[in-house]
Amino acid sequence: MNDFLQVAPEVMIAIDAGVPVVAFESTIISHGFPYPANVECALECERVCREGGAVPATIAVLGGTVCVGLTGDQIEHLATARGVTKVSRRDLGIVVARHADGATTVAGTMAIAAMVGIRVFATGGIGGVHRGAQQTFDVSADLLELSRTPVAVVCAGAKSVLDLALTLEVLETHGVPVVGYRTSEFPAFYSRTSGLGVDVRCETPDEIADILRAREAMGLRGGTVVANPIAPEHEIDRETLDGWTTRALREADEAGVHGKDVTPFLLARLHALSAGATEEANKQLVWSNARLAAQVAIALAR
């Protein structure tokens, strides 16, 4: 489409033909899991998406080229290469201009998906308002991206290390609807519950697609959060999780970890404290989101 953007032929053909396509981020490959779990997670997301009847489009920046739809070798490269930049919207121009590699966050992936006409995106959990943001003003760019980019984001809520109540307040302020898939409660990533409500509960992918179509028809700006709780058999007890999170947050503060380094640090510490239980839960919820995103994309394409 231009000198900086390369869309895989399969993805381009699907978009042109109106075939359902689901976008996937690449930060989960470069910064979310250790090797080889990162490759396993990414390839299984694509397999689940295809099995569901949609075309997967994993997004990343490779050598300064924005790539929509990756090969197995490109996924392997992102999983093993060192120094891959974590790319949000603000970083895209920099990474492209420097001909560097970048793994896209939720915000970066949404921006690129919208460029090529992909309407549905599956991820693990969105970013949000960090705990203590009243002093640090640490709020994820994901929330602002959701306020302006017309892509539906299927996720297991927001990452549990965040201030979920304030995250929902910011989404409300920016007019971003939060749709619960078969739940009336906003999920907390590893946990199905948070004690916080969603804006509307939907029982089927078709109901979700109806809301997306209505928003598009009215020209309403921004995206939609589709909150899909982790399956009961894979969730982690909230009290146990809160204890691990409190300890990890204290360690991050003591280590002077700030900004975009906070979430990867916390997730790594939770992995260690849980003896790997959070990694398995993370995989399962991402695959579940990929499955639902394919169903929503199909319903939206009808």
Catalytic residues: 25, 159
Q: Three-state SS across 177-240?
A: CEEEECCCECCECCECCCCCECCEEECCHHHHHHHHHHHHHCCCCCCEEEECCCCHHHCCCHHH
AA identity, residue 20:
P
Q: Report the 10 Å Cβ neighbour count for 259.
A: 9
CB contact at 8 A, 189 and 284: no
Rg (CA), the chain: 18
Cβ atoms of 163 and 143 closer than 8 Å: no
Rounded to 5°, angle at Cα 36 from 33 and 41? 60
Alpha-carbon torsion (223, 60, 267, 48), positive or negative: positive
Packing angle of the helix pair 262-273, 277-301 (nearest 10 deg): 120
The answer to whether residues 173 and 164 touch, using CB atoms and an 8 Å cutoff, is no
244 vs 266: CA distance, rounded Å: 10
Helix (H, G, I), strand (E, B) or coil at 124: coil
